[in-house]
Amino acid sequence: MVGSRVNPGSASRAAVGLAAAVAAIGVALVLLALAPLGWRLGWWSYAVALFTVIPASACTAAVAMALAAATVVLAWSRLSWRTLAALVAVLMMGQALVYVPWHYGRLLRTLPPINDITTDPDHRPAFEATLAAREADSEEREDTSEPELSRLQKAAYPDIAPLRAAVPVASAFDTALAVARTMPGWTVVAVDRDRGRIEASARTRWFGFTDDIVIRIRPEGDGCRVDARSASRIGGHDIGVNAARIRTYVAALRNAMGQ
């Protein structure tokens, strides 16, 4: 029974195993925290953070899990409840740390390597207010050229489409602007009511990457058409972030318009 009788030698080996597992999971956590911090402080590039530091965190977490599992198996009948609880905690944290790069690796393999998504692939709304910032970061960005970009988007995200509404352009513009200002992480940077344009930037929570958004409202028939575009400033693969952002915005706008 766990914790019933503890042999001093076995207890010592269990303590060593626990200490090693805790140390390894601690290193893994530090590496995970350093990945975005190091990029923000300029210690390394975003590619090093994503494809070297985070995988190193996962590998270290896997080592911690192996140490914890081995300690449980080899000293199961002689573990105290406190030691067992600590080993289980290491196993659970290790699983979470290994899952992060596995999840993003799966997205990298299954989603197209593009970083620019729009509801109008044939006539993408142009960036204006954020264009200078985008050009400044262009060396760290790998853009896919047309027509390949649109072909890949249409194949991977066939649901990304314009919002058409039987409301006046002016009313749609006001609603679109109000909804944009409620989007988490968005900062509206330009508003042009006469041309039906709204520009914004969004900052991701973990790494602090900045993406840019354009919203365009134009008359169509007796109502209007709303298009949106979201594109990354750096990197070549957005792992679905821009498509998710457009889906979220269009859904919120549709709800606000009562569509």
Query: How would you class 26 by CB atoms within 10 Å of its CB: exposed for 0-12, middle for 13-18, buried for 19 or more?
Result: middle
Tell me the average pLDDT of the chain: 90
Task: Over range 132-144, report the average pLDDT.
Answer: 90
User: Topology of domain 116-257, per CATH?
Assistant: TATA-Binding Protein (3.30.310)
**pLDDT confidence bin for 7, thresholds 50/70/90:** low
Q: Which of 9-18, 102-111, 181-190 has the lowest mean pLDDT?
A: 9-18
pLDDT higher than threshold 50 for residue 6: no
Q: Indicate if the pLDDT at residue 211 is higher than 80.
A: yes
The 10s digit of each residue's pLDDT in 219-258 is: 999 899 999 999 999 888 998 999 999 999 999 999 999 8
Indicate the residue type of 53: V
The answer to whether residue 144 scores a pLDDT higher than 90 is yes
Q: Give the CA diameter of the chain.
A: 84
Q: What is the average per-residue pLDDT within 104-114?
A: 89
Please give the C-alpha separations between residue 210 and each of 16, 207, 259, in angstroms, as whole numbers. Answer: 44, 9, 30
Domain boundaries of the chain, sorted by first residue: 8-110, 116-257
d(CA 159, CA 155): 10
Separation CA 197–CA 124 (nearest Å): 13
Average pLDDT of the segment spanning 111-120: 96
CA–CA dist 37, 31 (Å, integer): 10
Work out the percent of the chain whose per-residue pLDDT is above 90. 69
Question: In the predicted model, is pLDDT for residue 28 greater than 90?
Answer: yes
Is residue 213 within a helix (H) or strand (E), and if so which, with residue range?
strand 210-220
pLDDT higher than threshold 90 for residue 181: yes
